[in-house]
Structure 1
């Protein structure tokens, strides 16, 4: 079931291009949306956090079922998966447009509108991303090739994030929506012409939704991914508040901070792939976690006017992000292959994987924002207590969670392999 030929750059471009619009939509949803609704529409942080939590939890719950649907479609034909992807792309664009162009303006109606638009957007996003990830995992290969496949998808995804960070600020929601539609069309067309995975055996459709959770190694990897993901999602949710109120940086610098962060993540990916060839996927990911902890510990010491130092923080934490993007998915693909389930149950595995991703984001927005409000922070706050709560949430808490993730990775995956 190995690929007939090495995975070429053209293979990577055709498969990975869809990652651009998927990541393009992620930055407005996870980073810009909370700040936009709070500042433009005056939505209270606690109420906004509750809506985001509910929508993301719904999205997380449906991911495993979407994964099983994908396995059934793969058992039928790759064309069936592509058809689901086309439908999902339409839902995604429609939901995104409704979210950033709400017809409601009263607080209660606006929150209800946002919740409904988020559900539609997340449903399209989830269907498309699970199908795309499962397709890549089914292409197989050794650790280095699996890393390249994921790196193409995530590297082009980072290009989408960079594009979103520019267009969302400079062009506004209308330009961003149009760009998303064009990128989705181009990405789907390239995906349809990419290397096709090996056909699934007919029995693959009968695999249980709960199969991945029976595997102890998957449960351990999922625990690492969950802890590390929450640690990354909290700063992503709070970064604009930190930049505006803790650093008091000019608004013109915000695109530079975001652009530097994601650009350095993309530039660091070849370095992480080189590390994989030397020390393996798991140890390389552990090194990325250590770098992230050191960087956020430094960020806790910054204050008003430290914009230049924070640019360095963005560069180094972006390099650490490159490991988070390129390596965990490749580890999962290897786990599926080692279990003898490649070509049979990727959808189920990636359904639970995306469930964990959405749970990370739900907990980050649904807990961090209300807890910050309870601690006395609100956008525009300048008093020491409120800013101290913001720094703890943005810098200290992610470090604690990253330490837990690193310990779980070492004790649950690296040490058992070493002791074999």
Structure 2
């Protein structure tokens, strides 16, 4: 059960990540009245700050392995507070300003805990086993985060705030239990001195930059990872707008998200097993191709096409399992002996959050093109939500190459 003790933290981390990247933009636009253009600007700025801090956090965590547990506990406490604050802005404060401030705090705390958590897993003896538990629990957390907030926000307006408060308390308790399981019962990660590297890890920021620049296997992963992350981030930002205005089914948003993440949870062990036979690189290509096939269908849908969209969610969700499980395995193999996992995962999270920052700009772009939430979908929303991600996925497939 040691892998389970390690993997449990994936659930609350994912439960925080889903609102940050998917639900809060629509919540602040439709429930709190923040216009799309300033909302997109806030998302872009907060995600840009979040992106820039990740390599530094990864580097510092590699240098301070003895204090990793303490920093993870402090980061978890800050994350629990920021999570509640994002759902419950004070009535007297402008919601846009509050969102900007709390997003910076939430992103920073989440990054600190997540990078340390990923580095912990990378230093465990097996790669695929801990990753499967972590991502499986993460998908369980995403399922909970898909259904519970959607049910709360669909309730009577007078009940929304107290129920969001109870949800935030429940989240804090889950995060506390998961952190306790990790710190007390998960296997301890190897340190630099006993990881088999012979003490050859780099010891300065300049050495780290030079080592990354000279690592061909790592460099070959960065472009396809970023392009694929952008292809995932754009529809994640626009999903609730698409469900509300293109399909006319806001009451089913939680069900569609649950189909998506449920399919990812079911697909995760399949991709993990398939990677052992075909290799993670080939499996990742197949996963991206499956995602393209799914999103092509989304471009053809309109009001009332609920079952076809559920099929799209299942296909795209199954493909998401490959995006979750396989890039970390490829990264761990590409790092070599001298680069620490904190540095490597800091680079990956930097690129992922750069993609999220750029995806936030899709909101002011759509506003400039004439789209307004609640006024129906249209060509521009379809192109942004479905067609553009397909093109980006195909580009990621074309740029993904073997280092040998």
State if a TM-score over 0.5 links the two structures.
yes
Gaps of 5+ in 1: 1-9
Cα offset for 1:110? 2.5
Matching residue of 2:12: 21
Superposed counterparts of 1:346-365, under 5 Å: 346-365=341-360
**Equivalents in 1 of 2:173, 2:151: separation in Å?**
18
State the Cα deviation string for residues 327-381 of structure 1 (Å, max 9, x = none).
1111111112xx223xx6111111111111111111111x211111111111012
Matching residue of 1:281: 280
Cα offset for 1:231? 0.2
Cα offset for 1:85? 0.3
Superposed counterparts of 1:213-232, under 5 Å: 213-232=213-232
Cα offset for 1:140? 4.0
Match status 1:376 vs 2:357: no
Q: Aligned pairs, how many?
A: 385
Cα offset for 1:212? 2.7
**Equivalents in 2 of 1:69, 1:285: separation in Å?**
30
Deviates more, 1:174-183 or 1:263-272: 174-183
SS of the residue corresponding to residue 33 of structure 2 reads coil
**Equivalents in 2 of 1:12, 1:207: separation in Å?**
32
TM-score normalised over the length of structure 2 = 0.92
**Equivalents in 2 of 1:161, 1:103: separation in Å?**
26
Matching residue of 1:90: 77
Matching residue of 2:143: 162
SS of the residue corresponding to residue 327 of structure 1 reads helix
TM-score normalised over the length of structure 1 = 0.88
Gaps of 5+ in 2: 153-162, 194-198
Structural RMSD (CA): 1.6
Matching residue of 1:318: 317
Is residue 151–residue 325 contact of structure 1 (8 Å, CA) maintained in 2?
A: no
Is residue 201–residue 337 contact of structure 2 (8 Å, CA) maintained in 1?
A: no
**Equivalents in 1 of 2:279, 2:306: separation in Å?**
36
Matching residue of 1:6: none
Is residue 161–residue 262 contact of structure 1 (8 Å, CA) maintained in 2?
A: yes
CA distance change for structure 1 residues 105 and 306 in 2, over 3 Å: closer, same or farther?
farther
Superposed counterparts of 1:112-261, under 5 Å: 112-141=97-126, 146-171=127-152, 172-192=163-183, 193-201=185-193, 204=201, 206-208=203-205, 209-210=208-209, 211-249=211-249, 251-261=250-260
Match status 1:388 vs 2:379: yes
**Equivalents in 1 of 2:35, 2:228: separation in Å?**
28
Cα offset for 1:138? 1.1
Cα offset for 1:252? 2.9
**Equivalents in 1 of 2:204, 2:287: separation in Å?**
34
Matching residue of 1:36: 27
Cα offset for 1:213? 4.1
Cα offset for 1:255? 1.4
Cα offset for 1:188? 0.8
Cα offset for 1:56? 0.6
Match status 1:103 vs 2:95: no
CA distance change for structure 1 residues 212 and 149 in 2, over 3 Å: closer, same or farther?
farther
State the Cα deviation string for residues 222-261 of structure 1 (Å, max 9, x = none).
1111000000111111111111111112x33211101111
Matching residue of 1:46: 37
